[in-house]
A and B are shown apart, each in its own frame.
Chain A
Amino acid sequence: MDRLVVAGREFNSRLLVGTGKFASSEIMAKAIEASGTEIVTVALRRVDIENENDDMLSAIDRNKYLLLPNTSGARDANEAVRLSKLARAATGINWVKLEVTPDPYYLLPDPVETLRAAEILVKDGFIVLPYINADPVLSKRLEDVGTATVMPLASPIGSNQGLRTRASLEIIIEQANVPVVVDAGLGLPSHAADAMEMGADAVLVNTAIATAEEPVKMAEAFKLAVEAGRTAYISGAAGAGKRASASSPLTGFLRDE
């Protein structure tokens, strides 16, 4: 498979994996391994000082995987910028998945605050991967302020509804000059393959892997689906038609006409 390039850095895998919702850190680590991913997302939260427990993420080898902190929980640009700076202090790297989701019911991203935060963060030297609704105009605006990717949603986070924003995703992919990472709502490997066949540069999956009965096997299924979809995309799909088109010769039948 051809390589994904984000902000000048090359990746062999086009599947990004979220680390939330796994039943244990052991299953999480095995699923990450099986997915073939090289980029895993994490969140930043207060330490529970009353109930100090183990660091769930110690199972992730930070030499092998790029830890991509998200700004989940941020309700506006200022909170997202604050979280980004804390994450940078924690990782020592300046990559951030920017998400500003003031509405807890659908967790849809706020486009105005996301754009505002992206501008501030890019100026501050961050490599910004913004999570957005599938809005082609916003995608261009973010690209213009210097984000490294755009990450439009397929459907609401964790909903497993698949490509509900297909028409807008197609426009975003057509117009983008930065990698398009379809994020959120991909519930099945076929959804991921579909997005990749459309020309998405990568996908991000968390819930569909983490909450499967067998997360490690599902991680592998998504790996294969992403590879299949990407390979199909670069192979140039034959178009669909209304009528049949025989695959076998229409001559030499064993009958007399």
Chain B
Amino acid sequence: MGVLRVNGQDKEFAAEKFPLTVAALLGELGVEAATVVAEVDGQIVEREKFTATELRNGQRIELVRFVPGG
């Protein structure tokens, strides 16, 4: 089993389902990658690096996107 802290919440994954990349995590969560920017342990991960960025047990992930605002 593995855990990722995603947007402040712990997400548990069975060992065989642990998302190995940022792209896999987004797929698992059902989040459209095209509009998202990620931070992994405080480091920004650009969209084009989602598939190449590997994840490890215990990492902190932030997934953010633009929303309406003034």
A-side residues, CB < 8 A to B, are 18-22, 28, 41-47, 49, 52, 55-58, 67, 69-70, 72, 85-87, 89-90, 157-158, 184, 204, 206-207
Contact = CB atoms under 8 A, between A and B. Distances in A.
A86 B70 CA distance: 17
B62 A44 contact: no
B59 to A, nearest CB: 15
Given A46-B8, A204-B70, 9 more contacts: A42-B66, A43-B70, A45-B67, A47-B31, A49-B6, A49-B7, A56-B68, A67-B66, A86-B39
Given A52-B29, A86-B37, A44 B70 contact: no
A42 B70 CA distance: 6
Q: Specify which of B8, B32, B65, B66 lies most central, judged by the most chain A CB atoms within 10 Å of its CB.
A: B66
A42 B36 CA distance: 14
B55 interface: no
Interface in B24-60: 29-32, 35-37, 39, 44, 46-47
A70 B67 CA distance: 10
Q: Specify which of B31, B63, B70 lies most central, judged by the most chain A CB atoms within 10 Å of its CB.
A: B70
Contact of A49 (B35, B46, B63, B68): B63
A158 B46 CA distance: 33
B70 A206 contact: yes
A58 B68 contact: no
11 contacts: A20-B70, A43-B70, A47-B36, A49-B7, A57-B35, A85-B44, A89-B47, A90-B36, A90-B37, A90-B66, A184-B70
A90 B65 contact: yes
A19 B68 contact: yes
A20 B68 contact: yes
B69 A18 contact: yes
A157 B69 CA distance: 12
Interface string B10-24: 000000000000000
